[in-house]
Homo-oligomer: A and B are copies of this chain.
Amino acid sequence: MKNRLPGITVQRLPLYLKCLDDLPAGQVQVSSEELAARVGLNAAMVRKDLSYLGSYGVRGVGYDVEHLRFHIKQALGLNNKWPIVIVGIGNLGRALANFDRFSSEGFHAVGLFDNDPEKVGDRFDGLAIEHIDELPAAVADRSAVIGVIATPAQAAQEVADLLARSGVRSILNFAPTVIKAPPGVKVRQADFSTEMQVLAFYLHQQS
């Protein structure tokens, strides 16, 4: 076991976690072979990924499902409850706010923000929508560490700047534009059009 996981392993750990959830109720052991088939990867890769977490398998048997789930969540920091804020409460923002697996997955929404005064006060997921001007104080008061951007593209950079200044340490950007953030603020791009365009490439190739 090394104490540093490759970035790409970090990206696969959430997939293993989802596969564990999909196992038949009552299944107590799982082999690298079975997990690999479920995620669509090679068994050696699964074993190598999991070995970075420590030696939690049993030779000749496999991995204990609950034990493994615990250690993956541990490695990802999902045994905390990270406070997050969501900016832009259109259809996408509402979908995110209603996402009820937050609680089981290490996050909880502590603020919903929009710049439309019409929307302020509406409630989702037990939270009232607040005006974007309230964001800096809210992030500080509620110790939010992740900001989710679900605004139109033209507002995204401005919102990212505001989030960064307010003190979040990570940004998940759903707007179809590339945003910059100061060093120390980790950004992930999570947008629909990028994924679609990648699929288009493979369609195009075939034809």
Residue ranges of A at the interface with B (Cβ–Cβ < 8 Å): 5, 10-11, 13-15, 17-19, 21-22, 38-40, 75-78, 80, 82, 84, 90-92, 94-96, 98-99, 101, 105-107, 145-146, 169-170, 172, 176-178, 180, 186, 188-190, 192-206
Contacts and interface: CB of A to CB of B under 8 A. Distances in A.
A199 B172 CA distance: 8
A63 to B, nearest CB: 17
Which of A78, A145, A169, A204: most chain B Cβ within 10 A? A204
Given A91-B91, A91-B95, A197 B146 contact: no
Copies per complex of this chain = 2
Contacts of A205: 77
Given A101-B176, A169-B206, A195-B188, A200 B77 contact: yes
Contacts of A11: 194, 198
B91 A200 contact: no
Nearest to A106: B200
Nearest to A104: B193
A169 B76 contact: no
In order of increasing CB-CB distance, the 4 nearest A-B pairs are A77-B204, A91-B95, A92-B95, A14-B197
A120 B193 CA distance: 26
A115 to B, nearest CB: 17
Contact of A198 (B10, B38, B40, B203): B10
A114 B171 CA distance: 31
15 contacts: A14-B194, A15-B194, A38-B178, A40-B180, A76-B198, A76-B204, A77-B205, A82-B200, A84-B196, A91-B95, A107-B196, A146-B199, A172-B196, A186-B199, A186-B202
Contacts of A176: 18, 101
B105 A196 contact: yes
Contacts of A145: 203
A87 to B, nearest CB: 15
A15 to B, nearest CB: 6
